[in-house]
Amino acid sequence: MSNLIRYIARRILILIPTLIGASIIIFLIIHLLPGDPAIILAGPEATAEDIERLRIRLGLDKPLYVQYLMFMSRIIRGDLGESLVTGHPISELLWVRFFNTLKLAVCGILIALALGIVLGIFAAIKRNSIIDQIVMAFSLIGVSTPVFLLAILLIQIFAVKLHILPATSLGTELELRHIILPSLTLGLIGAAPIARMTRTSMLEVLGQEYIRVAYAFGFKEHKILFKYALRNALIPVVTIAGLLFGYLLAGAVITETVFAYPGLGRLIVESIFARDYPVVQMGLLFISFTFAIVNTVVDILYAVINPRVRLR
């Protein structure tokens, strides 16, 4: 237990400089973009004096490091600012869109895990058979297929030809039928690497001596496969699934854009086109923090499942 606590504390300490570094990079990138936020906020009819007064009020006349410290102090206080376009608090925009993305991410990862693990197990059990070859072909196609292409194919089949599912979402109010196609897109793409990892890990575990001993003692095959082999084979799958879930939570930008899904990724794309830099900045920062935290949680879960990680 003490080793686990030390490992968790070490991972959390590593997380702090990671978050600070991400905030610095995002802050600098946004300041390198063309356009002056003061000009956008002041409006087209503002005079030069009005723009200068607004720059002073926003702190844009101060050195860059001072602006960064002011930026971080506002974040610590929970003040994320307001949108230049809508005037709404950025925190409200981010939370609404994040929960929409959370629904999509949970559905997508469940589809990916269910399909990927089942296919990986069958491929490992039927090694070098036609089933194994089909699963590996599916994995190769899934890894190689662009997300937008799969999304367009699903829209063509289920929305245009069969007329059973909507192609896009309208507004921010979502129903289950609006989530099916984008989550299926992400699930099919995510199932490919999970199936490959499950197959590889299962084959490695099935070659272990304790599995051969279990067969020698006459244990039933399904008990050996699912109680002993699968439990150990799923350890590396946790890492893949965690990284995939972190990517989905960070906002599947392409998928949300193709399906007009009102998630976090689409909000950032819309804000970029509208040059709503505060929303872009806070959205990217939110994505970075979410991804870093999810990866840290995955590392901790991996150490809980596999004690050898924390011992090293």
Task: List the CATH number of the domain containing 171.
Answer: 1.10.3720.10
The string of pLDDT tens digits covering residues 225-258 is 777 777 777 778 887 888 788 777 765 788 888 8
Residue 275 banded pLDDT, cuts 50, 70, 90? confident
Euclidean distance between CA atoms 24 and 96, whole angstroms: 25
Indicate whether 156 and 303 sit together in one domain. Answer: yes
Examine the fold and report which residue of 77, 106, 131 is the final residue of a domain before the chain moves on.
77
Q: Are residues 219 and 289 in the same domain?
A: yes
Task: Give CA–CA dist 266/249, Å, rounded.
Answer: 13
Domain total of the chain: 2
Enter the pTM of the model. Answer: 0.80
Q: 62 and 150, same structural domain?
A: no
Its domain, for residue 38, covers 2-77
The reply to whether 237 and 127 lie within a common domain is yes
- Reported as type and span, the H/E element at residue 99 is helix 90-125
Does residue 112 or residue 218 have the better pLDDT? 112
Residues 256, 195 share a domain = yes
pLDDT score at 22: 86
Domain boundary among 77, 109, 144: 77
Contacts 24+ apart (CB under 8 A), 104-107: 104/179, 104/182, 104/183, 104/186, 104/248, 104/252, 104/255, 104/256, 104/261, 104/263, 105/186, 105/245, 105/248, 105/249, 105/252, 107/179, 107/183, 107/187
Rounded Cα–Cα distance for residues 190 and 240 (Å): 9
Any domain includes 101: yes
Please say if the pLDDT value at position 56 is more than 60. yes
297 and 253 together in one domain: yes
CB 282 within 8 A of CB 81: yes
Instruction: Indicate the pLDDT class of residue 111, thresholds 50, 70 and 90.
Output: very high
132 and 252 share a domain? yes
Let me know whether 108 and 184 are in one domain.
Answer: yes
Same domain assignment for residues 153 and 260: yes
Residue 85 lies in a domain: no
Residue 109 domain flag: yes
Same domain? 117 vs 183: yes
Residues 15-46: pLDDT tens digits?
888 888 888 888 888 777 666 666 666 666 77
The answer as to whether 83 is a domain residue is no
Residues 58, 144, single domain; the answer is: no
Residue 279 in domain: yes
Whether 63 is in a domain gets the answer: yes
User: Would 84 be classed as within a structural domain?
Assistant: no
Question: At which of 77, 105, 135 does a domain end?
Answer: 77
144 part of a folded domain: yes
Model pLDDT, residue 173: 60
**69 lies in the same domain as 103:** no
Looking at residue 110, its pLDDT comes to 92
- Model confidence at 193: pLDDT above 60: yes
